Amino acid sequence: MIYVKDLHKSFGKLEVLRGVSEHIEQGECVVVIGPSGSGKSTFLRCLNLLETPTSGEILFDGVSMTDPKTDINKMRQKMGMVFQHFNLFPNMTILKNITLAPVRTKLMSEAEAKQEAMTLLERVGLADKANAYPAQLSGGQKQRIAIVRSLAMHPEVILFDEPTSALDPEMVGEVLDVMRKLAEDGLTMVVVTHEMGFAREVGDRILFMEDGVIVEENTPAEFFAAPQSERARSFLAKVL
Amino acid sequence: MELYTTWKALITAGDPVTAWQKFYVYFYQAFVEADRWKQYIEGVGRTLYVTALALILGVILGVLVAVVRTAHDQQRPGHRNPILGVLNLIFKVYVTVIRGTPMMVQLLIMGFVIFSSSKNFALVGALTLGINSGAYQAEIIRGGLMAVDAGQNEAGRSLGLTYVDTMRFIIIPQAVKAILPALGNEFIVLLKDTSLISVIGGKELLYAARAVVSRTYEAMFPFLGTAVIYLVLVMLFTWLLGIFERRMRASDLR
């Protein structure tokens, strides 16, 4: 579904990605792990062009994301993103946060979007917060809303950029539960995370990144039991 | 009326009068005699009219310049829009020239050079003030737009919203809330700066006061009265802004 070919990204002199090639298939949950500064987030943000790659190509549903002629807004509608800091819109109610994009992109009518939003809010157990403002919610609630906001666009894939890193420990579980359910429902997901438990249980595939390249690609079972690369071994020794 | 005439005669003759009598005479002369209060009311009306026109023009210019300049700076590398580049350059020159020259000089140039044949002084004044205020507002608004967390823009765009929609529904509302105090300040400056258009013949409040002074040769009450009227206007304005600000803060409830 997403083909990445020899992706490079530099910020000034700093080369963050130095040739990443990857294929993400329909319905799989790919977990990207690695030490900080390894380029995981940059890789994720290049996928929906929040960062413009320096070179390389990204094909999403057969369309080149990096081609200047591509309607990037149309492509992004099919590619949701969940951020570390939630990035809910503080000036709108929860309901408006969720319905804004589907209505403005003419994906749904106002009424349809509302109904869809309520159904999704019901699913994450936050229907009673529909008319609250983001400032009134806890971190875990905000992140669940952010996931719902993404889902409301009916994306083909959702990118998760360290979705639990900014949360208090007791709120991590509720967000991971929602993500686990999405993975079970067969949503294509690319998850950058430090939650090794989640990676092991939910991931279909682990990408271990370091210094801007994918060092190891493995199934979770094998990766955590017997990593092939020395660097993955020393990383796991530190985090587990 | 009779009191005024008799006491005025005393003062002109140089006879001793009480402070109260003096106060009464000069006050009467400044505001009541020959229905002079009507001139002040007319002046206030003209002041408010010029302020409103300049405010509308200033806000339109300010938002336009700020949005174009921010959009220009936020373009993705390799997606540079040449039209945006040209507009950005023009607006940069505009802001530099307007902020780099005194308001009074701008008024004199507009009134006596560019529109020297126009008799509609108030309109020329409003135009000048609006253009002037727009440059300052542009920088205030631009600051507000840049101060909104970059994550907000990313969230909007990652949902597939266009740049314009993201600006309109997400960034600008948050920026406006943040810059309202600074913008209020600018509006107050604008209201008071309308007094400058009297130099090109705009018949606003200060013009009315000066007309009275040149009639009566007494400066104190007309000018003090003008100061009080401006103060009241500004306080009213501040009060209205306060109401608006409270409404904008609805989403801060916890």
Query: Which residues of chain B does A42 touch, with a Cβ-Cβ cutoff of 8 Å?
Result: none
Q: Which residues in chain B touch residue A76, judged by CB atoms under 8 angstroms apart?
A: 157-160
Q: Which residues of B touch A55 (CB under 8 A)?
A: none
Q: Which residues contact B2 (CB under 8 A, 6 or more apart)?
A: none
| pTM of the predicted structure, to 2 decimals | 0.82
Measured in angstroms, the CA of B146 and the nearest CA of chain A are apart by 16
Label residue B142 by pLDDT band (50, 70, 90).
very high
B65, B43, B44, B63: which is closest to B55 by C-alpha? B63
* A186-196: average pLDDT: 94
Contact with chain A for residue B179, Cβ under 8 A = no
Confirm if B115 and B200 have CB atoms less than 8 A apart: no
Using the Cβ of A237 and the Cβ atoms of chain B, whether some distance falls under 8 Å is answered with no
Strands across the sheet with A188-192, in order? A79-82, A157-161, A188-192, A29-33, A205-210, A213-218
Average pLDDT rounded to a whole number, residues A194-210: 93
For residue A33, list its beta bridge partners.
A208
- Which positions in chain A touch B155 (Cβ < 8 Å)? 81, 83, 87-89, 146
Give the number of other Cβ atoms within 10 Å of residue A206's Cβ. Answer: 24
Q: Is the pLDDT of residue B55 over 80?
A: yes
- pLDDT, position B251: 66
pLDDT of B254 reads 56
Local confidence band at A107 (pLDDT 50, 70, 90 cut-offs): very high
SS3 content of chain B, % helix, strand, coil (to 5): 85, 0, 15
The residue whose two tokens read 């994918």 is A214
pLDDT band at B17 (very low <50, low <70, confident <90, very high): confident
Residue B24 has pLDDT above 80, yes or no: no
Mean pLDDT over A103-114 rounds to 94
* Model pLDDT, residue B7: 78
Q: How far is A210 from chain B (nearest CA, A)?
A: 25
User: Does residue A76 sit at the B interface (CB-CB below 8 Å)?
Assistant: yes
For residue B61, which of B138, B117, B146, B114 has the smallest C-alpha distance? B138
Check residue B171 and give its pLDDT.
94
Q: HSE of B204 in the Cβ direction (CA atoms, 13 Å)?
A: 28
Per-residue pLDDT, B82: 87
CA B186, CA B202: separation in Å to the nearest integer? 21
Is residue B4 scored above 80 in pLDDT? no
Statement: residue B26 has pLDDT above 80? no
The predicted-structure confidence for B210-245, as pLDDT tens digits, reads as follows: 887 888 888 888 899 889 999 999 999 999 988 888
Kindly state the percentage of chain B with pLDDT values over 90. Answer: 44
Residue A58 has pLDDT above 70, yes or no: yes
CB atoms within 10 A of CB B76: 12
Contact B251 A73 (CB under 8 A): no
The average confidence (pLDDT) of chain A is 93
Contact B152, B174 (CB under 8 A): yes
Residues in chain B: 254
Bridge partner list, A30: A190, A205
Q: Is B249 on the interface with A (CB under 8 A)?
A: no
Which pLDDT belongs to residue B100?
94
Q: Which residue in A has a C-alpha nearest to residue B165's C-alpha?
A: A104
Nearest to B160 among A52, A90, A153 (CB): A153
Interface test with B, best of A65, A86, A87, A103 (most B CBs within 10 A): A87
Strand order in the sheet with A2-11: A14-24, A2-11, A55-60, A63-64
State the pLDDT at residue B73: 86
Give the CA distances from residue A224 to residues A231, A236, B4, B204, in Å, rounded to whole numbers and listed in that order: 13, 8, 101, 80
- Cβ contact, residue pair B159, A52, below 8 Å: no
Range with the largest mean pLDDT of A2-6, B3-7, B211-215: A2-6
Q: Pick from B78, B165, B251: which is nearest to A52 by CB?
A: B78
Q: Which chain B residue is nearest to residue A137, measuring alpha carbons?
A: B254
A89 touches chain B (CB under 8 A): yes
- Nearest to residue B32, comparing CAs of B216, B171, B201? B216
Report the alpha-carbon distance of residue B220 to residue A9 in Å, rounded: 71
B136: phi then psi, degrees, rounded to nearest 5: -70, -45
In chain B, whose CA is at the least distance from the CA of A82?
B155
Specify whether the CB–CB gap between A129 and A145 falls below 8 A: yes
State whether the Cα torsion B33-B37-B38-B43 is positive or negative. Answer: positive
**Residue A181's closest CA among A163, A202, A160, A155?**
A202
Say what the pLDDT of residue B239 is. Answer: 93
pLDDT of B78 reads 66
Q: Give the DSSP letter of residue B217.
A: S
- Predicted ipTM > 0.95: no
Work out the number of other CB atoms within 10 angstroms of the CB of residue B148: 20
State whether A83 and B154 contact (CB < 8 Å): yes
The count of CB pairs under 8 A between chains A and B is: 83
